């Protein structure tokens, strides 16, 4: 029983996460190129959000702790 539960939990979590994340990237079809455009757009938007948050928090500049080459 313990082995079945160990396999079930990761599969259940992955299924739930996939179900939640897929609609966020747009419509998905059987056309892999169409789907890739949606995923690329989503990744580009997430990168922009990340940069915006860094700018607001004031951490978008290089760290002074990193040695220059």
Counting the structural domains of the chain, the total is: 1
**Which tens digits make up the pLDDT trace of 7-62?**
777 888 888 877 777 666 557 677 888 888 888 888 898 888 888 888 888 787 76
Residue at 18 is within a domain: yes
26 with 41: CB under 8 angstroms?
yes
* Domain annotation covers residue 17: yes
The answer to whether residue 31 sits within a structural domain is yes
CA dihedral 49, 52, 57, 58 (to 10 degrees): 140
Domain hosting 7: range is: 2-57
| Token code pair at residue 5 | 């539960």
Who has greater pLDDT, 44 or 3?
Answer: 44
Within a domain: 65: no
Within-domain flag for 63: no
3-state helix, strand, coil in the chain (%, to 5): 70, 0, 30
Q: How many helices (H) and strands (E) does the chain have?
A: 2, 0
């Amino acid at each position: 029983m313990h082995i079945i539960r160990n396999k079930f939990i990761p599969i259940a979590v992955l299924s739930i996460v996939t179900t939640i994340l897929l609609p966020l990237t747009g419509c998905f079809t059987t056309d892999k190129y169409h789907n890739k455009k949606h995923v690329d757009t989503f990744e580009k938007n997430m990168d922009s959000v990340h940069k915006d948050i860094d700018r607001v928090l004031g951490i978008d500049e290089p760290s002074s702790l990193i040695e220059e080459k």
